[in-house]
Chain A
Amino acid sequence: MNVIDQVSHSVPPADATVPAAIEVAHLTKVYKQTLAVDDISFAIARGSTTGLLGGNGAGKTTTIAMIMGLVLPTAGRVRVLGHEMPREAARVLGRMNFESPYVDMPTRLTVRQNLTIFGRLYAVEHLRDRIAQLADDLDLNDFIDRANGKLSAGQKTRVALAKALINQPELLLLDEPTASLDPDTADWVREHLANYRKAHQATILLASHNMLEVERMCDRVIIMKRGRIVDDDSPDGIMARYNRATLEEVFLDVARGRGRDGAS
Chain B
Amino acid sequence: MSDLTSDLALHGGISFNRIGAMILRYWYLLLSSWPRLLELAYWPVLQVITWGFLQSYLAQNANFFARAGGTLIGAVILWDILFRGQLGFSISFLEEMWARNLGNLMMSPLKPIEFLIALMAMSLIRLAIGVIPMVGLALFLFHFNFFGLGLPLIAFFCNLIFTSWAVGIFVSGLVLRHGLGAESIVWTLMFALMPLACVYYPVHVLPLWLQYVSWSLPPTYVFEGMRALLIDHVFRADLMLSALVINAALLVACFAAFLALLRSARRHGSLLGGGE
B101's partner among A62, A88, A104 (CB-CB below 8 A) is: A104
Contact between A68 and B107, CB atoms less than 8 A apart: yes
Contact between A94 and B21, CB atoms less than 8 A apart: no
B267 within 8 Å of A (CB atoms): yes
Band of interface residues on A: 35 or more
Q: With the chains together, A129 CA to B72 CA distance in Å?
A: 56
A163 proximity list for chain B (CB < 8 A): 104
**A70 and B103 in contact, given A65-B269, A123-B17 (Cβ under 8 angstroms):** yes
Q: With the chains together, A69 CA to B266 CA distance in Å?
A: 8
Interface residues of B (CB under 8 A from A): 2, 5-6, 9-12, 15, 17-18, 20-22, 24-25, 28-29, 32-33, 95, 99-111, 263, 266-269, 271-273
A75-100 vs B, CB cutoff 8 Å, 1 = contact: the mask equals 00000000000111111011001101
Contact between B99 and A106, CB atoms less than 8 A apart: yes
B24's partner among A86, A104, A117 (CB-CB below 8 A) is: A117
Contact between A72 and B263, CB atoms less than 8 A apart: yes
Find the A residue at minimum CB distance from B104.
Answer: A103
A sample of 14 inter-chain contacts (CB < 8 A) reads A65-B269, A70-B271, A70-B272, A72-B267, A87-B6, A90-B111, A91-B11, A103-B100, A106-B101, A116-B24, A117-B25, A120-B18, A121-B18, A123-B18
CB distance from B129 to the nearest CB of A (A): 17
Contact between A103 and B102, CB atoms less than 8 A apart: yes
Contact between B33 and A108, CB atoms less than 8 A apart: yes
A255 within 8 Å of B (CB atoms): no
A93 proximity list for chain B (CB < 8 A): 107-109
Chain A-chain B contacts (Cβ-Cβ < 8 Å), number: 111
A71 proximity list for chain B (CB < 8 A): 266-267, 269, 271-272
Interface residues of A (CB under 8 A from B): 31, 61-62, 65, 68-72, 86-91, 93-94, 97-98, 100, 102-109, 113, 116-118, 120-123, 147, 163
Contact between B266 and A70, CB atoms less than 8 A apart: yes
A104's partner among B5, B6, B100, B269 (CB-CB below 8 A) is: B100
A90 proximity list for chain B (CB < 8 A): 6, 9-12, 109, 111
Find the B residue at minimum CB distance from A102.
Answer: B272
Find the B residue at minimum CB distance from A108.
Answer: B32
Contact between B272 and A120, CB atoms less than 8 A apart: no
CB distance from B272 to the nearest CB of A (A): 5
Contact between B109 and A103, CB atoms less than 8 A apart: no
Find the A residue at minimum CB distance from B103.
Answer: A103
For the complex with contacts A70-B266, A117-B28, A123-B15, 11 further pairs of A-B residues with Cβ separation under 8 Å are A71-B272, A90-B109, A102-B273, A105-B101, A106-B29, A108-B28, A108-B33, A113-B28, A117-B24, A121-B18, A123-B17
A121 proximity list for chain B (CB < 8 A): 18, 21-22, 105, 108-110
